[in-house]
Structure 1
Amino acid sequence: MIIGLGSDLTNMDRIANSLERWGEKFEARCFTDVERAKAAKRPFTRVGTFAKRWAAKEAYAKAVGTGFRRGVFHKDIGVVNAPSGAPTLALTGGAAKRLAELVPDGHEARIHLTLTDDHPWAQAFVVIEALPR
């Protein structure tokens, strides 16, 4: 059963402005070490890499119904790749706690994530599914 759905469309120029204005402080506050390392390996698409991950964080916050309140923070939501290469989310702190609150007893959560970009836009969709154990 679907227990959450969220989407976000982010303007890359807005992320570029934040990176330019706040630099390391913005990166450290909003992105995981894994996300920052991936962006560092992509100097020509660095802003797009961050923008897609920003959109994924926003989409997740919508999917769990809290936005960035109730202990859900940007840095608690990390985009990682499954062994297949498909993007998914690694959750910690309040983001993981909120997901646990939504999953019915006897079920486990599966997060589906899709990312895309076409300058100046980055987009993400998150679907959270509860599957019987």
Structure 2
Amino acid sequence: MLYTGTDIIEIRRIKAAEARWGEHFLNRIFTPAELSLCKDRFPSLAARFAAKEAVIKVLSLPKNQSYTEIETLNLPEGQPSVNLYGQARDKANILGIKHLSISLSHCREYAIAMVVAQD
């Protein structure tokens, strides 16, 4: 079976949240590896936020899901890859999901992510 999830976000929302709450916001949402990869590139951070939301939709996770349990990094070839931890990994195992494919994109104003999960 295939499961899909998509999310889109205005990049300015991530930038505004960082301006308002600073490191606290970034550390609550992104893993250290994601922050290291993206540095202060808000389009990349926004795309990873959209990825987290798309995975939450695919797995039907609760609204209080820890965002840091969903991590989007890049494979050596450059394509994005999702790592799951904790409750997110447990739910994927319950659903029998063996593989997540992800696509990220952004323009000046928006970032989008699409996730396809396969059992």
Query: Same fold per TM (> 0.5)?
Result: yes
Cα deviation, residue 83, structure 1: 3.2
Once residues 25 and 31 of structure 2 are traced to their aligned partners in structure 1, the CA distance between those partners, rounded to angstroms, is 11
Q: In structure 1, what is the equivalent of residue 112 of structure 2? A: 123
Structure 1: gaps (5+ residues): none
Residues 29-44 of structure 1 mapped to structure 2, 5 A cutoff: 29-40=28-39, 43=40
Structure (1/2) with the larger helix percentage: 2
Deviations 1:25-82 (A, max 9, x none): 0011110011000122xx4xx111110000000000001112434xx31110000122
Once residues 67 and 6 of structure 1 are traced to their aligned partners in structure 2, the CA distance between those partners, rounded to angstroms, is 15
Structure 2: gaps (5+ residues): none
- The question of whether the paired residues in 2 share the 8 Å contact of 1:58 and 1:67 is answered with no
- The question of whether the paired residues in 2 share the 8 Å contact of 1:51 and 1:122 is answered with yes
Q: In structure 2, what is the equivalent of residue 14 of structure 1? A: 13
| AA partner of residue 58 (structure 2) | A
CA RMSD, 1 decimal: 1.3
Structure 2 residue matching 1:125: 3-state secondary structure = strand
Q: In structure 2, what is the equivalent of residue 76 of structure 1? A: 69
| AA partner of residue 37 (structure 1) | S
| AA partner of residue 30 (structure 2) | F
Q: In structure 2, what is the equivalent of residue 54 of structure 1? A: 49
> Is the counterpart of residue 89 in structure 1 residue 89 in structure 2?
no
From the CA coordinates, give the structure whose radius of gyration is larger: 1
